[in-house]
Amino acid sequence: MRRCVIVGGADIARYDRVRAHLREDDFFICCDSGLRHRAALGVAPDLIVGDFDSHEDPHLNVETIVLPREKDDTDTVFAVKEALRRGFQDFLLVGVIGGRLDHTLGNVSILLMLDAQGKTAAAVDDFSELEVVSRRPVEIDGRYAYFSLLNVTGVARGITIRNAKYPLTDAEITCEYQYGVSNEVLPGRTAEVSLEIGRLLLIKVLPD
């Protein structure tokens, strides 16, 4: 099945980096002011979702879901739920990191929501790629300058990191002490991260 790409309204400065993650057969959902990115990303939305409080409704010949401005879900969360309702299993979120911290943290939680439902999901911004480590080990190749592991759920135990500058064995990272920041893959190796209990946010930082 096609991958679903959710395009949010956070600023994007390095469109080339984001475009490199896109595929011709992706299904694109633009969320409200995410519409401002469509030309620079070179994408045409398959679905538009929003309350249009930050971008006017362009009235394109595209399926559009107009939302009320007072609601529990942000436009981005609604878009993800709509994609789930349509059966998508694989997700990429762009334009969702940066700007307002509350929106950024809320959008990171979307990765956790999708992981909890057994879906594949990642987010990308100008500097990094984000995903959740949970049930399966994750490999990190040498193209990244750094990688960080953050506890964003309260429980993360039995953490093992191999083939990295700072290895770990059966460790715990707490929300109060995030010491898993700025690790590095050993030259010529592929790092591997796994854990026994909980979930971690993996942030892979691209070189300048």
The confidence score (pLDDT) of residue 140 equals 97
Residue with tokens 């679905």: 47
Mean pLDDT along residues 28-39: 92
Rounded to the nearest angstrom, the gap between the alpha carbon of residue 153 and the centroid of all alpha carbons in its chain is 16
Write out pLDDT tens, residues 78-123: 999 999 999 999 999 999 998 889 989 999 999 999 999 999 999 9
Same domain, 9 and 65: yes
Same domain, 106 and 168: no
More confident residue, 99 or 64: 64
Write out pLDDT tens, residues 133-191: 998 999 999 999 999 999 999 989 999 999 999 999 999 999 999 999 999 999 999 99
Same domain, 16 and 98: yes
Same domain, 95 and 45: yes
Number of independent structural domains in the chain: 2
Same domain, 18 and 87: yes
Same domain, 73 and 152: no
Q: Which two tokens mark 185?
A: 């893959």
The confidence score (pLDDT) of residue 51 equals 82
Q: Determine the structural domain holding residue 157 and report its residue range.
A: 133-205
Alpha carbons 163 and 192: distance in angstroms, whole number: 7
Alpha carbons 81 and 65: distance in angstroms, whole number: 13
Alpha carbons 52 and 79: distance in angstroms, whole number: 14
Mean pLDDT along residues 35-50: 94
Q: Which two tokens mark 106?
A: 């809320």
Same domain, 102 and 140: no
The confidence score (pLDDT) of residue 33 equals 84
Task: Give the end of a domain, one of 79, 105, 126.
Answer: 126
Residue 161, domain CATH: 2.60.120.320
The confidence score (pLDDT) of residue 54 equals 67
Mean pLDDT along residues 52-70: 81
Report which residue type is found at 205: V
Alpha carbons 184 and 17: distance in angstroms, whole number: 21
Whether 19 shows a pLDDT value over 90: the answer reads yes
The confidence score (pLDDT) of residue 109 equals 95
Q: What DSSP assignment string belongs to 124-165?
A: E-SSEEEEEESSS-EEE-TT-SEEEEE--SS-EESEEEESBS
Least Cα distance to 107 among 147, 73, 142 occurs for: 73
Same domain, 107 and 10: yes
pTM for this prediction: 0.92
Same domain, 148 and 105: no
Same domain, 55 and 10: yes
**Residue 55 pLDDT level (bands cut at 50, 70, 90):** low
Least Cα distance to 123 among 115, 84, 61, 153 occurs for: 115
Same domain, 16 and 115: yes
Task: Give the end of a domain, one of 109, 126, 143.
Answer: 126
